[in-house]
Amino acid sequence: MTGPRALPGATRGSGPLAGLLVADFSRILAGPYATMLLADLGAEVVKVEGPAGDDTRSWQPPVRDGVATYYLGVNRNKRSVALDLKDPDDLAAARELARRADVVIENFKTGGLGRFGLDYDSVAATNPRIVYASITGFGAQPGGAELPGYDLIVQAISGLMSLTGDPEGEPFRAGISVFDVMAGLHATIGVLSALNLRHETGRGQHVEVNLLSSALSGLVNHASAVVAGGVVPFRMGNSHPSLFPYEPLPCADGDLIITAGNNGQFRKLVEVLGVPELADDPQFARNEDRTANREELRPLLADRLRTRSKQDWFTDIIAAGVPCGPINTVDQGVAFAERIGLDPVVTVGEGTAAIPSVRNPITFSETPADYRLPPPALDEHGAEIRAWLTAPEETA
């Protein structure tokens, strides 16, 4: 990184965002995930933490060398500085960092940074080029601004939990903090879009993302059923409301997910299963017929599938061009990605400080993601960052 925003000792990233400085005032998941993606793509990210550090440092088990793997999973390629915003010197450093930055990302409670002069209006007054992203739980309007925004709460309020679980059982949360991740992705898209416009106008802007809006957008066909069709979707377990087969089906030694998404795929499936006549049966010829008559079709498919193992069927059904897959554990999922050449694990850092991490999912032909720094210890880079912020800026 070169020029007036260059950090001391910083190794310039090789990705498409090399040269950008991001001031990361976020914590936990949505914001740190967004800033890690930006860092992977070359941006220099300064992670500003309170004296106690990011909450996820203590979210354990599991741990690696005493550090929570939750924290490790979303904080590589960053430099940490611990700043107490109630301390005048630390607050001055935080304001100077925001003044020098290209991007600020924060997920404080709405208005929480205003009392420190670190809200968008205050930062933009001294840095009109700033792209400032705020991630909240329920937006900045009255009624939502006061609500605490945790992923599980949004899964409940958005309706996702009403769709997840056994039809006869209780609602369930998704196995990951799906809307935190989704909001982080939406924030990243917003930041990149604002940066693109800044190339033309020279001015930044305020980008706002909230978990509930991300959730409703992410509910896609289910949300559309409500707003466009007046239909309230309901819990169907592993079944799909508009497709069949599109669920686990029993083989001799366990279930196999089979997804015949169109009539051609269904015909190929029943040919492999040895019951080609089902493709011409009026009850099952079209997707809408199969969906309406799923209770009649399911046992006919299951009778055939139970004659062989799920691996044998997986091999033959995939070869026929019909999507299917086993229900793996996460370690098996990583192993599968390795087997098909996706190289899902990268090592960040060197020697005893090296940390295995999940590869950034974006591939570029010319400017690939890079992995320069392992997740930092609390205030690991504090001294050099404070010294840089209090020294006069270099001229470009």
Determine the pLDDT at residue 28. 96
Encode the chain in three state secondary structure: CCCCCCCCCCCCCCCCCCCCEEEEECCCCHHHHHHHHHHHCCCEEEEEECCCCCHHHHCCCCEECCEEHHHHCCCCCEEEEECCCCCHHHHHHHHHHHHHCCEEEECCCCCCCHHHCCCHHHHHHHCCCCEEEEEECCCCCCCCCCCCCCHHHHHHHHCHHHHCCCCCCCCCCCCCCHHHHHHHHHHHHHHHHHHHHHHHHCCCEEEEEEHHHHHHHHCHHHHHHHHHHCCCCCCCCCCCCCCCCEEEEEECCEEEEEECCCHHHHHHHHHHHCCHHHHHCCCCCCHHHHHHCHHHHHHHHHHHHCCCCHHHHHHHHHHCCCCEEECCCHHHHHHHHHHCCCCCEEEECCHHHCEEEECCCCCCCCCCCCCCCCCCCCCCCHHHHHHHHHCCCCCC
Cβ contact 115:144 at 8 Å: no
Query: How far is 183 from 353, CA to CA, in rounded Å?
Result: 30
Our answer to whether residue 90 is catalytic in this structure is no
pLDDT digits (tens, 9 = 90+) for 267-325: 999 999 999 999 999 999 999 999 999 999 999 999 999 999 999 999 999 999 999 99
Nearest to 239 by CA among 168, 133, 136: 168
pLDDT digits (tens, 9 = 90+) for 33-64: 999 999 999 999 999 999 999 999 999 999 99
Domains contained in the chain, CATH given: 21-219+344-390 (3.40.50.10540), 246-339 (3.30.1540.10)
pLDDT digits (tens, 9 = 90+) for 220-257: 999 999 999 999 999 999 999 999 999 999 999 999 99
Determine the pLDDT at residue 337. 97
List the single range of 120-124, 141-145, 190-194, 358-362 with lowest mean pLDDT. 141-145
Determine the pLDDT at residue 393. 77
Banded pLDDT at 6 (limits 50, 70, 90): low
**Terminal Cα-to-Cα distance of the chain (whole angstroms):** 12
Nearest to 1 by CA among 132, 101, 75: 101
Query: How far is 57 from 108, CA to CA, in rounded Å?
Result: 18
Selecting among 180, 253, 281, 379, the annotated active-site residue is 180
The distance from CA 320 to its chain's CA centroid, rounded to whole angstroms, is 33
Determine the pLDDT at residue 9. 64
Whole-prediction pTM: 0.92
- Does the pLDDT at position 3 exceed 50? no
pLDDT digits (tens, 9 = 90+) for 359-369: 999 999 999 99
Handedness of CA 374, 377, 380, 385 (dihedral sign): positive
